[in-house]
Amino acid sequence: MKTLNSLIVSFVRMLPKQVVYVFAKKYIAGIKLEDALKAVKGLNSKGIVATMDVLGEAISTRKETEAAKRECISVLEAINKNNLDSNISIKPTQFGLLIDEDFCYEQVKEVIEKAKSFNNFVRIDMEDSSTTESIIKLYKKLHKDYKNVGIVVQAYLMRTLNDVEELNQLGTNYRLCKGIYVEPAEIAYKDRNEIRDNYIDALSLMLENEDYVGIATHDDYLVDEAIKIIKEKKIDKSKFEFQMLFGVKESLRDKINAAGYKVRIYVPFGEQWYAYSVRRLQENPQLAWYIFKSLFTFN
């Protein structure tokens, strides 16, 4: 079945982008900022908060980086102008991490300063393992001067518990997720139960240290285990939130929200929607299978 799923994902990647977009648009807010603002307004009306993300990564020129920075600043200004309950997420490679680390720092710093002026927050996304060390280094440098910044850690990486123990010393604001990038078995767990166990261990370390945690998962088991830990340790609701992706398992989202827990939805948008959508397909081959079946179903 795994081989079949991989073949289907490969097939979908060969389709025209216009075709893929028809199915992918459920999982992205749209192409334009106005599309994302509308999506966030809808979430806020349900008592759900958001983090907005201008899609794009692995930028190769300083000009592209500066354009990405200006776009993120525009998002922050729009959030403030429209009184939305949303922060933003950024990818370091979109800000020139692969060009020059000091240059990247200066670009990200401008965004964080703008967010600070609006009493808002910036989440630094984690990317593939080749950038993990550089991203943690970037976060530590930023955290020295700014407290309105957080980082993401990925439970499928074997190094994560060590990273959490180190980052706990700073009083880090976390997003904890399983991880989506395809990584070698030498550095990443492949077994679902091992990933789950590492996730729970990392979450426990964060909560015991009284750090703020975005519990980012669509796994019912992990949601249940997280709630169990929260209740057992009597963790105040001000110290955590649940996070999910736009358009994914909305019934679980609504269930968590109805139970009185804070829920934040990751709202991606922008011209670079295709690469994001392909990663979602790789993470969730069932979606690719759905696209495949839909293309060959005739009424």
- What residues are annotated to the active site? 125, 175
Task: Give strand ranges (E) for 47-166.
Answer: 49-54, 86-90, 122-124, 149-154
Residues 244, 222: contact at Cβ < 8 Å? no
Q: Which two tokens stand for residue 23?
A: 């199915």
Per-residue buried b or exposed e for 166-192, using 16+ beta carbons within 10 Å of the residue's own CB: ebbeeebbbbbbbbbbebeeeebbeee
Which candidate, 17, 127, 38, 142, places its Cα nearest to that of 82? Answer: 38
Pairing of strands 122-124, 49-54: unpaired
How far is Cα 247 from Cα 62, in angstroms, rounded to an integer? Answer: 33
Q: Which helix (H) or strand (E) holds 265?
A: strand 263-269
Pairing of strands 149-154, 174-177: parallel
